[in-house]
Chain A
């Protein structure tokens, strides 16, 4: 933890596949956050740091069964923000916390805007995690640095 700022570790996970003498690293960057729920304490989830996602995405298969406590943000929004993978979404806001090593083990809350997906796309490859998009980094003026060659500590997101 940097004095006066919050630091979120970025973890690197995956494996290297080797075929025909070629090594192909299959890696992902993960960030741990806890999400507000209506029924209980915030729920810790690992989120895929997706630098190709302009906006965070929270799949129906996560926010519905886990009873996430989110509120719609009134539009109008352009069509690209009200769909994901061909299914409808609602642009919403949710409180999140940063897990921390000491009591009360959570720092926050912060707020994040995300697409809350309202159906399960037919062509998805199984369970899709929460996608942490660039809007989160932009909203909090975050400084982000990571490397993709040494597991598991890839870098950090520093929120000033």
Chain B
């Protein structure tokens, strides 16, 4: 991937993702069992349905494809 525009998008998404991971503990306490949408290092939407969240958070200024989602799932043991 050498397109500077795409690299810039990747970097912005990485920055948002890193911000969410750096604040993982606080966000997990604030949004247990939910997912959050992060844009420019801010939570702009939260809920449990990712498709609805992306629809709600996207706008002309915030392209849906550039939104970062981080989930804080409820504690469960994955059944086998």
Contacts and interface: CB of A to CB of B under 8 A. Distances in A.
Contacts of A43: 13, 68
A76 interface: no
B17 A126 contact: no
A148 to B, nearest CB: 15
Interface string A50-84: 10110000000110111100000000000000000
9 contacts: A11-B21, A44-B13, A44-B68, A45-B69, A48-B73, A52-B80, A66-B50, A127-B35, A127-B50
Given A13-B28, A104-B10, A127-B48, 17 more contacts: A26-B75, A40-B65, A40-B66, A41-B6, A41-B9, A41-B65, A46-B17, A46-B21, A46-B71, A61-B51, A66-B54, A103-B11, A104-B7, A105-B10, A125-B74, A127-B35, A127-B73
A124 B13 CA distance: 28
Interface residues of A, number: 41
A131 interface: yes
Contacts of A11: 21, 24
Contacts of A129: 71, 73
